[in-house]
Amino acid sequence: MADEAIVRLEGLKKRFGKIEALKGIDLEIPAGITYGLIGPNGSGKTTLIRILAGISRPSSGAAFVLGRPMPDRSVAASIGYMTQAEALYKDLTVEENLRFFGRIYGVSGALLRQRVDELLELVGLSDRRRSLVDEVSGGMRRRASLACALVHRPRLLFLDEPTAGVDPELRIQFWNYFKRLTTGGVSILVSTHHLDEAGRCDRLGLLREGELLKEGVPEELRREAQAETLEAAFLYFARRRSP
């Protein structure tokens, strides 16, 4: 069961009034890997992740997470979700935010303290732990936001552009950490614009205008497109799809 698909989409559609944000997506994501969701602005990445996180309902089709059709709160505890905009309480300190999100997932006491220390260290905010979120820099907020998604040690991570606005050095650190997490058995679905980061994913899905253009291992995608870079490959598949 463990290496069953951790996420499965069947003809997933989502519409907002006239806009069809997802136009029927079929996809299976195996467990234990970092899956990269690549696509330009408005391609539907956030929409897809919100459905997987159980916040938004599919208009038609189905999304399964850990074998359960979403939305389903019983899998919520296994999911860590980092929203695209940093969702934090601005009038609480960095540490208080972390503790709050830990506690609503049922982490408490010494374990919570230990995890909070660990994560603050990881995102380099140990010395700013007592600063109000309102008073730290934009990049620091993103780092705090990531830490909040990790505090309950989820098996499954949905990260919506986790590295947007984060400086290059820390970005490399983040990706190293993601790698460590996946070797530890965590599955990650991450959306990004940075195609250089996409190369570090185990598999990629290319999303455009609500459609999954292409899906596979980065190396294979590049080979199939006969492209030097992932950028070129993405353009190749985008052009091939349009009439």
Partner 1 sequence: MSRITALAYRIFLQIARDRRTLVLIFLVPMLVMGLLTWLLRSEKQPFRAAVIVPDKGGAMMGDLLRELLVQNARVKIIAGITEPGINEALEDGRIQAAIVLRGADLEELKTGKRAELKVVLEGSDPMSSREFLQQLQRLQKPLLDTMRGLLSLSDENAQMLAPPELNLVFLYGGKDFGETDYFAPPVICFVAFFFVFIITAVSFLRERAQGTMERLLASPLSQFEIILGYLSGLLLFALAQTAVILFFVFYLLKIHYLGSIASVLVVEFIVVLGASNMGIFFSSFAKNEFQVAQFIPLVVLPQVLLSGMLWSLETMPKALQYIAYALPLTYANLALRNLMIKGFSLAQVLPELLALLAFALLMTAGSILTIRKFGAIN
**Residues at the interface with partner 1 (CB under 8 A):** 16, 50, 53-56, 73, 76-77, 79, 81, 83, 85-90, 101, 104-106, 148
Residue 116 amino acid letter: V
The smaller minimum CB distance to partner 1, of residues 81 and 237, is found at: 81
46 near Mg ion, rule: CB under 5 A: yes
Name the binder of 41 from partner 1, Mg ion, ligand ATP, none, CB < 5-8 A by kind. ligand ATP
Phi/psi class of residue 137: alpha, beta or left (left: φ > 0; alpha: ψ in -120 to 50)?
A: beta
The single residue among 1, 3, 41, 243 that binds ligand ATP, judged by CB under 6 A, is 41
Residue 49 amino acid letter: I
CB contact burial 186-225 (16+ within 10 A = b; e otherwise): bbbbbbbebbebbebbbbbbbbbbbbbbbbeebeebbeeb
> Which stretches of 59-186 are assigned E, i.e. beta strand?
60-65, 68-69, 79-82, 156-160
Residue list 70-109, contact with ligand ATP (CB under 6 A):
84
34 near Mg ion, rule: CB under 5 A: no
The smaller minimum CB distance to partner 1, of residues 159 and 221, is found at: 159
Interface positions with ligand ATP (CB under 6 A): 16, 19, 21, 39, 41-47, 84
